[in-house]
Amino acid sequence: MTMIDTLRLYLRFIGISVRAQMQYKASFIMAAVGNLLASAIEFLGIWALFERFGSIRGWSLPEVALFYGIANTAFAASEAVARGFDTFSSMVRLGDFDRLLLRPRSTVFQVAAQELQLMRIGRFVQGFVVLVWAMSAVDITWTFPKALLVVGAILGGACVFAGFFILQATLAFWTIETLEIVNTITYGGVQTAQYPLAIYRNWFRKFFTFVVPLALVNYFPALAILGRADVSGTPAFLPWTSPLLGVAFLAITMQIWNFGVRHYTSTGS
Amino acid sequence: MLLQYRAAAVAGFGTQLFWGLIMVMIYEAFYRSTTVRQPMELGQVVTYVWLGQSFLAMLPWNVDSEIRGMVRQGAVAYELLRPVDLFNLWYSRAVATRTAPTLLRSAPMFITAMLFFGMQPPDSIASGFAWAAAMIGALMLGCAISTILNISLLWTISSEGVSRIVPALVLIFSGGIIPLPLFPDWAQQTLRVLPFAGLADFPYRLYVGNIPPDRVLFVLAHQVAWTIAFVALGRAILSRGVRIMVVQGG
C-alpha cells in the first residue's frame, strides 16, 4: 500500500461524504451560517470589550485578533477533519468498529476518512477573515518566514486539536460512552487560545503549556510573529518548531489509539 | 430523567466551571488594564459570569427534541386530539424542561463559585428579592420564546435553521457573551428595549446591585410585556400551523 494509494482512497471516501452532505443543501447552508454566527458573536464580544477597555495588559485588539484567528481556523479545520473521532463512541457502542478491524487499512485512516464535516467552514471563514484583518492591522513588517509561521501555527494547532479528538475517541474503548469531560479541554482550549496566554494566571499558563501543549503551537508562534518576548522567557527557536511539535503530538496520540485498539472488546453479540 | 445521566451532568458542570474561570481571568486582565471608571465593577462582572453559568439551561436556545420527534414521525397528531389547549400544553412543557435542568445545575454551581471563584451573594436583601422576582419573569419570557421555537417546527420540520441561528442571537443579546452594560454606549438603548435583556441581563444586574432593587417593577413590566407579545404571536402562528399541518408518515 503506497502513500499515493492511501491518499486516493481518502479522497474517494471524502468525496462520498461531501456528496452525502450536499444532498441536503439548505440544511448545510443553515448549519454553516449558524457555525459562523456562533463564533462571530464571540468576536463581537471581544471587540466590545476593547471598545470599553482599550487594551488588555498591553495587548491591542489587532494583536489579540491574530491569536483569535489562528486558534479558530485551526480548531475549525480539525473539527471538520476529525469528525469521525468526535462521533466515534457510537461506533463502539453499536459494535460497528468490528467491521473496521476486518478491512485491510489502518483504523485511524478509516475513522478519519468517514466524514469531512463541511459545516465547519462557517467558523473557518469567520476565523480567517479576522486573521486577515489582524495581519493587516498589526504594526509589524511582514516577512516571508513570518507568513510561513502563521500557516505553520494553524497547521500545528489543527494537529493538536485533532490529537485531542483522537484521545477522546480512544477513551471510548474503555468507557463505551463519550467522555464529555475531554470537551472541556478542546472547547476550553480554543476559548483560552483566543487571548494571549500571558493574560491568564500562572498555573493556568503552565497547564496549557506543559499538560495541554496548545501554547506551543499557538501562543509562542504568535509571539514570534509579533516580535514580543514571553513572560517566562522561552528560547527563541521554539516557535519555529511549532508545526513539528503539533505533528509530534498527533503521532503520540495515534500510538495511544493503537494501544486502545488492542484493548478493544466488541459490544456486539 | 435527568439524573439518569450523571456522568454527562458532571462533565457539563466541569465544562461550565472551566469556561467561567477563563472568562473571570479575562475580565480581571481587562480591569487591570484600565483606570477609567467602567459601567460595572469587576466584582459585579465576576458574579454576573457565574450567574450566567448557573442559569445557562434556562435560556431559550434550542427546540424540544421530543416535540421535534413528534413532528417528524407524525405523532404530533395525538397532541391535537388531547382535550387541552395545545399552546398551554407546550408552554407548560417548556416550563418543565427549562426548570428541571436549571435547578439541578444552579445549586452546585452557586456553591462552588461562591466558595472558590469569587461569586458574591446578592448586593442586599432587597436586591435578592428583586432578582428572584425577575428570574420568574425571565422564566416566563424564556418559555414563551421556547414555545415559539417549538411551534416553528410545524413549518421547518428539521428545525435546522432555527436551532442554528436563534442560539447566537439569544446569547449575544441576553448578556451570555459579555454583560450588556459593557457594550458601547450607543448600543445600550436598543439592547434595553429588545426582549433578550429580560432573559438574563436584567435579573443578574438586579442581583449584583447594578440595577437598584426599586427598579424591579420596570424590569418585570418589560418581561411581562414581551411575554404577552410572544404568547400572542405564538398562539397566532400555532393556529395557522395547525391548519396547514401535514402529518408525516402513514
The ipTM is 0.89
Q: CB–CB of B53/B19 below 8 Å?
A: yes
Judged by CB atoms closer than 8 Å, whether chains meet at A55 and B32 is answered as no
The answer, yes or no, to whether residue B211 has pLDDT greater than 90, is yes
CA distance B205 to B131: 8
- Domain contains B237: yes
CA distance B66 to B81: 17
Which pLDDT does position B5 carry in this prediction? 62
Cβ neighbours, 10 Å, residue B246: 7
More confident residue, B173 or B5: B173
The answer, yes or no, to whether residue A178 has pLDDT greater than 70, is no
Partners of A191 on chain B (C-beta within 8 Å) are 19, 22
Partners of B25 on chain A (C-beta within 8 Å) are 199-201, 204
Mean pLDDT for all residues in chain A:
87
The answer, yes or no, to whether residue B109 has pLDDT greater than 60, is yes
Nearest chain B residue to A192 by CA distance is: B22
Cell, residue A168: 477522546
Q: Which pLDDT band holds residue B170 (cuts at 50, 70, 90)?
A: very high
Q: CA of B83 to nearest chain A CA: how many angstroms apart? A: 35
Which pLDDT does position B6 carry in this prediction? 67
- Domain contains B240: yes
Partners of A180 on chain B (C-beta within 8 Å) are 7-8, 11-12, 15
Q: CA of B113 to nearest chain A CA: how many angstroms apart? A: 17
The answer, yes or no, to whether residue B47 has pLDDT greater than 80, is yes
Which pLDDT does position B159 carry in this prediction? 64
Q: CA of B195 to nearest chain A CA: how many angstroms apart? A: 18
CA distance B180 to B173: 7
Nearest chain A residue to B160 by CA distance is: A27
The answer, yes or no, to whether residue B249 has pLDDT greater than 60, is no
Judged by CB atoms closer than 8 Å, whether chains meet at A188 and B22 is answered as yes
Mean pLDDT is highest, among B5-14, B20-29, B240-249, for B20-29
More confident residue, A172 or B224: B224
| CB-based contact, A176 to chain B, within 8 Å | no
Judged by CB atoms closer than 8 Å, whether chains meet at A58 and B33 is answered as yes
Which pLDDT does position B2 carry in this prediction? 54
Q: Which pLDDT band holds residue A232 (cuts at 50, 70, 90)?
A: low
Percent of chain B at pLDDT > 90 equals: 59
The answer, yes or no, to whether residue A64 has pLDDT greater than 60, is yes
- The position carrying cell 466590545 is A48
Q: Hey, is B122 helix, strand or coil?
A: coil
- Domain contains B34: yes
pTM, whole model, 2 decimals?
0.90
CA distance A195 to A59: 9
The answer, yes or no, to whether residue B58 has pLDDT greater than 70, is yes
- Domain contains B250: no
- Domain contains B65: yes
Nearest chain A residue to B16 by CA distance is: A184
CA distance B106 to B114: 12
The answer, yes or no, to whether residue B162 has pLDDT greater than 80, is no
Which pLDDT does position B11 carry in this prediction? 74
Residue B132, domain extent: 2-244
The structural domain count of chain B equals 1
Partners of A199 on chain B (C-beta within 8 Å) are 25-26, 29
Contact partners, residue B157, CB within 8 Å, separation at least 6: B71, B72, B248
Cell, residue B240: 395557522
* DSSP assignment letter at A235: -
Whole-angstrom distance between the N-terminal and C-terminal Cα of chain A? 33
| CB-based contact, A26 to chain B, within 8 Å | yes
Please state which of the ranges A18-27, B184-193, B211-220 shows the lowest mean pLDDT: A18-27
Q: Which pLDDT band holds residue A234 (cuts at 50, 70, 90)?
A: low
The answer, yes or no, to whether residue B160 has pLDDT greater than 80, is no
| CB-based contact, A191 to chain B, within 8 Å | yes
Judged by CB atoms closer than 8 Å, whether chains meet at B7 and A177 is answered as yes
- Domain contains B193: yes
CA distance B59 to B39: 24
The answer, yes or no, to whether residue B8 has pLDDT greater than 80, is no
- Domain contains B249: no
Long-range contact pairs involving B232-238 (C-beta distance under 8 Å, separation at least 24):
B233/B148, B234/B87, B234/B91, B234/B144, B234/B147, B234/B148, B234/B151, B235/B87, B237/B148, B237/B151, B237/B152, B238/B86, B238/B87, B238/B151, B238/B154
The answer, yes or no, to whether residue B133 has pLDDT greater than 80, is yes
Length, in residues, of chain A: 269
Percent of chain A at pLDDT > 70 equals: 94
Judged by CB atoms closer than 8 Å, whether chains meet at B38 and A52 is answered as yes
Nearest chain A residue to B15 by CA distance is: A184
Helical residues (DSSP H) of chain B, grouped into ranges: 6-32, 42-54, 65-73, 76-81, 86-116, 125-156, 160-174, 185-193, 201-208, 216-244
The answer, yes or no, to whether residue B250 has pLDDT greater than 60, is no
Which pLDDT does position B4 carry in this prediction? 59
Q: CA of A56 to nearest chain B CA: how many angstroms apart? A: 5
The answer, yes or no, to whether residue A71 has pLDDT greater than 70, is yes
The stretch A189-198 carries a mean pLDDT of 90
